[in-house]
Amino acid sequence: MNPMEHGVALLRAGRFHEAVLQFGAALRESPLAVEPRLGLSQACIGLGDGWAATAWLSDACRAAPQRPDLWRELARVLAAQQRDAELGPLLQAALSLHPDDPPLLHARADLYLRGHDYAQSLPNYVRLYELQPRDRVVLLHLGYCLEQVGDVEGAATRYREAIALEPDFLEAHIDLAGVLWRLEDFGGALAHAQKAVALAPGHAHAQRILGTALLNLNRLDDAEGHLRRALELRPEFELAELDLAFAHLLRGELREGWALYARRWRDAQRLQRPAFYDPAREWEGPAAQPLAGKRVAVYAEQGLGDAVQFSRYLPWLQRQGATVVASVQPALAALIEHSFEGVQCLTEQRRFEVDCHVALMDLPLHHGTTLETLPADVPYLRTTMEKKEAWRERLALWDGRLKVGLAWAGSRAQVNNNNRSMRLSNFSVLFEMAGVQCFSLQQGDAGRFTDIKVATERLVDLTREWADFTDSAAMLDALDLVITVDTAIAHLAGAMAKPVWVMLAPNADWRWMLEREDSPWYPTMRLFRRGVGEERAAQVARIAQALGDRLHKPGRLAL
**What pLDDT is recorded for position 347?**
84
Residue 559 clears pLDDT 60, i.e. is over it:
no
Quick check: 473 and 436 in contact, CB under 8 A? no
In the chain, the amino acid numbered 558 is A
- Of the pLDDT bands very low, low, confident and very high (cuts 50, 70, 90), residue 555 is low
Q: pLDDT digit string (tens) for 355-395?
A: 999 999 999 999 999 999 999 999 999 999 999 999 999 99
d(CA 70, CA 76): 10
**What pLDDT is recorded for position 554?**
54
Sequence-ordered list of residues with C-beta below 8 angstroms from that of 189, at least 6 positions apart, any chain:
176, 177, 178, 179, 180, 181, 212, 213, 216
- Of the pLDDT bands very low, low, confident and very high (cuts 50, 70, 90), residue 125 is very high
Mean of pLDDT values over 224-253 = 97
**What pLDDT is recorded for position 557?**
45
Q: pLDDT digit string (tens) for 476-514?
A: 999 999 999 999 999 999 999 999 999 999 999 999 999
- Of the pLDDT bands very low, low, confident and very high (cuts 50, 70, 90), residue 443 is confident
Mean of pLDDT values over 211-216 = 98
Q: Give the bridge partners for 529, in sequence order.
A: 504
**What pLDDT is recorded for position 532?**
96
CB atoms within 10 A of CB 280: 5
Entry pTM: 0.91
Percent of the chain clearing pLDDT 70 (strictly above): 99
Q: At what angle do helices 84-97 and 102-114 cross, to 10 degrees?
A: 150
Residue 558 clears pLDDT 80, i.e. is over it:
no
Helix intervals (H) in 200-313: 204-216, 220-233, 238-251, 254-261, 304-310
Mean of pLDDT values over 141-154 = 96
**What pLDDT is recorded for position 1?**
74
Comparing C-alpha atoms, which of 121, 51, 112, 49 is closest to residue 84?
112
**What pLDDT is recorded for position 500?**
98
Residue 556 clears pLDDT 70, i.e. is over it:
no
H or E element in which residue 115 lies? none
Chain-wide mean pLDDT for the chain? 95
Residue 184 clears pLDDT 70, i.e. is over it:
yes
**What pLDDT is recorded for position 553?**
72
Q: pLDDT digit string (tens) for 275-295?
A: 899 999 999 999 999 999 999
